Amino acid sequence: MTTPSGAAGEAGGVGGGSGGIDSTLVENRRFEPPDAGALGVGRWHVGSAEEYRRLHEESLADPEGFWGKEAGRLAWFRGWEKVLEWEAPDARWFVGGTLNACYNCVDRHVQAGHGEDVAIIWEGEPVGPVTSHASPGSKYAAEPEVRRVTYRELQEQTSRCANALRSMGVKKGDVVTIYMPMVPELAVAVLACARLGAAHSVIFGGFAPHAIKERVADAGSRVIVTADGGYRRGEVVPLQKNVEEAASALSGEGHRVEHVLVLKRTGHELPSRRFNTGSVGAGGAVYHWWHEAVGGASDACPCVEVGSEDMLFLLYTSGSTGKPKGIVHTTGGYLVYAGMTARLTFNLMPDAGQVFWCTADVGWITGHSYVVYGVMMNRVPTVMYEGAPNFPGNDRFWSVIARHRVTHFYTAPTAIRTFMKWGDDLPAKHDLSSLRILGTVGEPINPEAWVWYRRHIGWDRCPVVDTYWQTETGGHVCTPLPGAVATKPGSCTVPMPGIDAAVVNERGEEMPAGRGGLFVIRRPWPGMLRGVHGNRERFVSNYWGRVKDPATGEPYYFSADGARRDADGYFWVQGRIDDVIKVSGHLLGTMEVESALVSHPGVAEAAVVGMPHEIKGSAICAFVTLKPAWLRSEGREPGESLKKELASHVAREVGALARPDQVRFAEALPKTRSGKIMRRLLRDVAAGVEKITQDTTTLEDFSVVSRLREDED
């Protein structure tokens, strides 16, 4: 059977327009959790609404008992003395306990006799008429390259890689930067750091040299793991070159990268740019080939015992200043939380024939928690796919699912909207009968896309779990548990067991049903961030300084998302209320884009806002004022070609994901008397909203509004 079943399960309801989330306000469809036997999942970990409610209640009534039990699922070198020490906003979880993350993901499975089980199923991108270096000796790959990595191989590889890193001076407490394509060695590098007790900082492969530079410097990282290149849409992404550029720029600023470990993935470099392991290259760093340094290292490397609160990783995320924040996660709490949420949200269980595919890059938190840690801790094979969803055709994802008999598919709303646009016939051509559970993450999903996903990918039988969470939360905080919670398209439904979520006003008072407010978490949970690297003030003020318990004055965790709860207690997340936007599910600080723009010699001032976009959710609109002197001296016009140039400039500085969709020139930016840019007004102008929803009498320059509006025509 390769075609979707009929339109069962539809209760009519209001479909809503595409893209926006307003339609969720009137959404009234509801889907009951399927029977485990009928769906063919064996059993549910949590199998009824009643069971979920009990679990959630118990977890809040006795948090230490609940989390202690969860932590008991991990392997500890030494048990903890105390589940939680909480001195707001500082939490210490599983105090006194010691463990190792790589041991929990890999070694313990080998020791339990599962060494030959598959840990990673990897598929490379090249297939069809590909670039010449894709598969040696051939310009045409009929089948994609597939590798299956067992836990035993992973144990060996992470040991060798850890030894290679150690020989470069990496030790417990250091931060290793990883900038790699989606290949098994990326997971190996991540786990090898954990094996050594070093922290990793993975940078998404789509970021540009300047963004790498900033993150390496902030982390104080001396070792970078990268690859010569990676494949994306049939092209080579020059990763090593980007690292070299970053390393050179860093050395100019007094930060020396000491070692760069390079995986040969594409082999595309010209002989003139090839290097020998051990040679000094760009930025004064010593460059090493992975196959030599890792291949030649010993495969014996015991997992280093680390404290529960030792840092496992740093992951940079965008904030409302121009500088990205290094979110700190520690070992014990993060692992407990990633493991539990993966198990409950996706009903993961070993030896049940499950194959889990999360399409996120490991460079984002979703990839950390649900490509690597959470899935491996549950001993379920995780799929890694290297490339783009539209190479060589728009049905690549569906062929991956069919080829590997994927049971769990987890992707982003922006991807789902793209698939809708590409047509129902593409998934219908492939055998998606292995699928059991579908997930979505990263931004609010419009009900129309949700329902399409359920019908055309899940054939109306797989539950859809809309998982709401953040880099800072470590794992899902609101999501339906697939066997227990009825779903409503567009709602992330109910809190994870252990999570005390609420929608409150600025005074911390809970909002009545149906009324919008701020999404907060009222007490600590193990997966919570422990800090912003090197910036205590930002940690405290961004997350803990905004809303308090009105009775006790204890701070609540502030998400910066707006949300409401309906009469059934379901959460509907509406999106960010700070100056960050979600573009295709990727978080971007508007200030980051603005500073990239003003680094162009022709730009005097820039203001960046999000505007609604059918596929991407939000797109970037940049308002720019130019320097008249520059225009004159360069003989330039403020026209289309300059707009293109500025958009490319941003892509070069930050990465392609930050390329503005629209650049608009203005003579001056609208500002309040105190000099603050009127962003709400600019958002309305960008969205083409007719009415100005803000009192404009505080504008510095009235004429600017009309001029910006003229620009719309």
* Contact pattern from residue 433 through residue 462 relative to ligand WTA, giving x for each residue in contact according to CB under 6 A and a dash for the rest: --------xxxx------------------
470 binds ligand WTA (CB under 6 A): yes
Q: Give min distance, CB of 46 to ligand WTA, in A.
A: 19
Select 163 or 201, whichever has its Cβ closest to ligand WTA: 201
Q: Give min distance, CB of 617 to ligand WTA, in A.
A: 9
- Largest CA-CA distance found in the chain, in angstroms, rounded: 74
587 binds ligand WTA (CB under 6 A): yes
471 binds ligand WTA (CB under 6 A): yes
418 binds ligand WTA (CB under 6 A): no
> How far separated are the first and last CA of the chain, in Å rounded?
51
Size of the site for ligand WTA (CB under 6 A): 22
Minimal CB distance residue for ligand WTA: 471
575 binds ligand WTA (CB under 6 A): yes
β-strand 230-232 against 235-237: which pairing, if any?
antiparallel
Do 27 and 574 touch, CB atoms closer than 8 A? no
The correct pick among 365, 465, 583, 609 for binding ligand WTA (CB under 6 A) is 365
Select 163 or 471, whichever has its Cβ closest to ligand WTA: 471
582 binds ligand WTA (CB under 6 A): yes
Retrieve residue 695's tokens: 């009192």
Retrieve residue 264's tokens: 């040969």
Select 401 or 580, whichever has its Cβ closest to ligand WTA: 580
Phi and psi of 87, rounded to 5°? -130, 90
468 binds ligand WTA (CB under 6 A): yes
DSSP symbol at 145: -
Select 24 or 177, whichever has its Cβ closest to ligand WTA: 24
Q: Give min distance, CB of 440 to ligand WTA, in A.
A: 6
Amino acid making up residue 690: E
Q: Which stretch binds ligand WTA (CB under 6 A): 116-124, 152-160, 463-471, 618-626?
A: 463-471
Amino acid making up residue 579: D
The correct pick among 159, 331, 354, 467 for binding ligand WTA (CB under 6 A) is 467
389 binds ligand WTA (CB under 6 A): no
- Residue whose C-alpha is closest to residue 690's, from 707, 666, 712, 664: 712
* Contact pattern from residue 318 through residue 357 relative to ligand WTA, giving x for each residue in contact according to CB under 6 A and a dash for the rest: ----------------------------------------
Amino acid making up residue 634: E
561 binds ligand WTA (CB under 6 A): yes
Do 384 and 337 touch, CB atoms closer than 8 A? no
Handedness of CA 367, 373, 374, 377 (dihedral sign): positive
493 binds ligand WTA (CB under 6 A): no
Select 263 or 573, whichever has its Cβ closest to ligand WTA: 573
Rounded distance between C-alpha atoms, residue 618 and residue 516, angstroms: 20
Rounded distance between C-alpha atoms, residue 504 and residue 559, angstroms: 11
User: In angstroms, how far is CA 82 from the centroid of its own chain?
Assistant: 31
Helix axes 209-219, 239-252, angle to 10 degrees: 60
Q: Give min distance, CB of 468 to ligand WTA, in A.
A: 4
579 binds ligand WTA (CB under 6 A): no
573 binds ligand WTA (CB under 6 A): yes
* Element (DSSP H or E) covering residue 86: strand 82-87
The correct pick among 469, 539, 543, 557 for binding ligand WTA (CB under 6 A) is 469
Handedness of CA 645, 651, 656, 657 (dihedral sign): negative
Rounded distance between C-alpha atoms, residue 335 and residue 111, angstroms: 19
Select 125 or 443, whichever has its Cβ closest to ligand WTA: 443
Query: Tokens 């600017």 belong to which residue?
Result: 704
Rounded distance between C-alpha atoms, residue 476 and residue 81, angstroms: 27
Q: Give min distance, CB of 167 to ligand WTA, in A.
A: 34
Tell me which residues touch ligand WTA (CB under 6 A). 317, 364-366, 441-444, 466-471, 492, 559, 561, 573, 575-576, 582, 587
